[in-house]
Amino acid sequence: MTLDVEFILVFRKGGPRRFPRGDGRRLASSYTRSERDEWFSQIWEVRGERQARPDLGRGTAAFPAEIPRRLIRMFSVLGHTVPDPFLGTGTTSAVAAELGRNSVGYEIDDRLRWVIGERLAAAGVPAARVRFVSR
Ligand SMILES: C[S@@+](CC[C@H](N)C(=O)[O-])C[C@H]1O[C@@H](n2cnc3c(N)ncnc32)[C@H](O)[C@@H]1O
């Protein structure tokens, strides 16, 4: 077992987000008080993800789905678009779909195309909505 520590940097563009009073999408995206207390804290303890992919000839450096799940719920509401410039296995986009968010992602390693496609299909994203573009 390895004990890894990773840092999450949070940047904000502009001031705090404003929502109209009673905004339906915001209300439908709310989290509980105990989720808030745990998530808006300095240290998260999250179990790691299996990395081995002998079929790819490389590790994937995938992170646990719980990481983007929390961050997406903390910083977006239903219908928002989540960007991921380093898709890897597509964890962030799969979780975004699971949470009713859209996503846009980039991945430079073409061998991960099918991994990402399968991951998104399992998350219920129709193949027609996934577009791969070569370098
Ligand atoms: C740490 S992995 C991401 C793992 C991902 N979070 C997951 O859970 O599967 C980083 C990925 O970024 C990709 N990458 C590196 N440089 C890139 C670039 N310039 N443009 C797009 N993807 C890039 C790598 O091929 C690698 O798959």
Task: List, for residues 19-63, the tens digit of each pLDDT value.
Answer: 999 999 999 999 999 999 999 999 999 988 877 677 777 678 889
What value does the mean pLDDT take over residues 94-120? 94
| Statement: residue 110 has pLDDT above 80 | yes
Q: Which superfamily, per CATH, for 24-47+58-129?
A: Vaccinia Virus protein VP39 (3.40.50.150)
Portion of the chain with pLDDT greater than 90, in percent: 69
Distance 49 CA to ligand 1 centre (A): 15
Q: Contacts by 73-77 with C-beta closer than 8 Å and gap 24+?
A: 73/29, 73/31, 73/35, 73/39, 73/99, 74/31, 74/39, 74/40, 75/10, 76/29, 76/101, 77/19, 77/23, 77/25, 77/26, 77/28, 77/29
Distance 105 CA to ligand 1 centre (A): 10
Six-digit token string for 49: 């993800």
Domain boundaries, the chain: 24-47+58-129
Residue in 49, 53, 93, 108 to alter for ligand 1 test, most ligand atoms within 8 A of Cβ: 108
Give the atom of ligand 1 at the shortest distance from the alpha carbon of 65.
8
Tell me phi and psi for residue 104, to 5 degrees.
Answer: -130, 130
Q: What is the rounded radius of gyration, in angstroms, for the C-alpha atoms of the chain?
A: 16
Give the atom of ligand 1 at the shortest distance from the alpha carbon of 61.
1
| Residue with CA at minimum distance from ligand 1 atom 17 | 108
Distance 17 CA to ligand 1 centre (A): 29
